[in-house]
Chain A
Amino acid sequence: GAGVSQTPSNKVTEKGKYVELRCDPISGHTALYWYRQSLGQGPEFLIYFQGTGAADDSGLPNDRFFAVRPEGSVSTLKIQRTERGDSAVYLCASSLGSGISTDTQYFGPGTRLTVL
């Protein structure tokens, strides 16, 4: 079946611009996660949705970052006033649920964001 998909695969923008990154989770998965991976590092958690609500947004670095999941499926990560330090690969993952047998996270291929 279809895995997690992310669009665009690459995004180049200028400092100060606004960007939106989209994630389509696996159908039926109720939990959705955003991570950010800088060059040479492991992914860092940003935000976790259970259904439509953000259950944990403790990883968002500042108020320029915001994410929504209005219908409990597709999610959009929004970054305002981009800075060069925002350049990274943004990863999305989804899981069937949050119990021990359903919490395996499946990752998308990522969106590579470059801020010039």
Chain B
Amino acid sequence: AQSVTQLDSHVSVSEGTPVLLRCNYSSSYSPSLFWYVQHPNKGLQLLLKYTSAATLVKGINGFEAEFKKSETSFHLTKPSAHMSDAAEYFCVVRKNSGYALNFGKGTSLLVTP
């Protein structure tokens, strides 16, 4: 079965410094992987999506993620954090059957001034 593990439940960075949110996946074949962001009291928003077209995926708001098959990783990065990036981030893989998504437990990103 497809699953993801988010390695950090909380990450704290200073404004203007790089962001790294780590995610490892488990999959029996080439997976579809996503990152979603959830701001307080707002709906989930898709940041980016990997579907095997390119290993480096660029998303919205300056975020990007790199698919590394050898490491079974799909880490999310951003060169310079902004205060508005503070939110909950979910790494997601599509389930084996059908089109349902399997979410990780989430990483809470705190950005300090």
Chain A residues with CB under 8 Å of chain B are 3-4, 31, 33, 35, 40-45, 48, 55-56, 58-59, 91, 93, 95, 98, 100, 103-110
Segment among B69-77, B78-86, B91-99 that sits at the interface with chain A? B91-99
Complex interface: chain B residues within 8 A of A58 (CB): 97
Mask of B25-49 contacts with A, CB within 8 angstroms, 1/0: 0000000100010000011111001
Instruction: Give complex CA distance A56, B101 in Å.
Output: 12
Q: Which 10 A-B pairs have the closest CB atoms?
A: A42-B103, A56-B98, A107-B44, A45-B100, A109-B43, A107-B43, A43-B103, A98-B99, A42-B106, A42-B90
Instruction: Give complex CA distance A93, B90 in Å.
Output: 15
Instruction: Give complex CA distance A58, B88 in Å.
Output: 26
How many Å from the CB of A41 to the closest CB on chain B? 6
List 9 interface pairs A-B (beta carbons < 8 Å), by A numbering: A33-B100, A40-B106, A45-B100, A55-B98, A56-B97, A56-B98, A58-B97, A103-B99, A105-B101
Instruction: Give complex CA distance A110, B92 in Å.
Output: 18
Chain B residues with CB under 8 Å of chain A are 32, 36, 42-46, 49, 51, 90, 92, 95, 97-106
Beyond A45-B95, A56-B97, A107-B44, whether A100 also contacts B104 by CB under 8 A is no
Instruction: Give complex CA distance A42, B100 in Å.
Output: 14
How many Å from the CB of A90 to the closest CB on chain B? 12
How many Å from the CB of B12 to the closest CB on chain A? 18
Instruction: Give B53's nearest chain A residue, CB to CB.
Output: A100
How many Å from the CB of A37 to the closest CB on chain B? 8
